[in-house]
Amino acid sequence: MNFNDDLRAADTALNHRLYAAGNALREASATQVDATSALRVILLHADPVPEEPEHQPAPSPSSPTTSLLRRPQRRLALAVNLLLVLALGVGFLVGVQRGKDLGHLTQVPTPSASTAVPSSTVTVTKTVTSVPEQCIKTAELGDEVISRLNKNIRDERLFLALRDYTIASQACRREASP
């Protein structure tokens, strides 16, 4: 058997598989259509719709049959839209309430023209952040542990670094808490 024979055999096997998959899809589609018809009967409490009506004229858009079929869909769409509007309204109110609780929406008093006094000196306040030494050590040890894990170094050095990180982390929490 040469290379071309192998290709033909693979092509034939692939064609058979595609044919079988197509048949399975057609059968599943037919089963799904049957299930949908049964579901329509259950939901609408009506007789099943014949697949091909004989000698029946096409229903007009204003016929009662068509409007009955559309009513549940309209009610469902209305209910979903109302729930969406309600959820958005509640979310908006919760957001506004949280903003008021945090003081984001407080008004800043604006100085009026009659009470404004121009100041010649400007004071600059510098914020100095201080981080406890143990927290800096914790960050460095955490970086070391992550580096060892990324390099797949899982030996005594990783164990020691992880132990030191845990101890430093607890010390950092103690120093940082008031």
Place of tokens 């899809």: 25
Higher local confidence (pLDDT), 16 or 111: 16
Supply the pTM of this predicted model: 0.29
Rounded to an integer, the average pLDDT of 60-88 is: 75
pLDDT value, residue 163: 92
pLDDT (0 to 100) of residue 83:
92
Report residue 26 as tokens: 């057609």
Range scoring the smallest mean pLDDT among 7-21, 46-60, 142-156: 46-60
- 74-87: b (≥16 Cβ within 10 Å) or e: eeeeeeeeeeeeee
Give me the torsion for CA of 10, 15, 16, 20, rounded to 10°. Answer: 140
134, 173 contact by CB (below 8 A): no
- Res 126: pLDDT: 77
Alpha carbon distance 23, 153 (integer Å)? 53
CA-CA distance, 24 to 156, in Å (whole number)?
57
Predicted confidence (pLDDT) per residue in 15-59, tens digit: 888 888 888 877 777 666 666 666 666 656 555 555 555 555 555
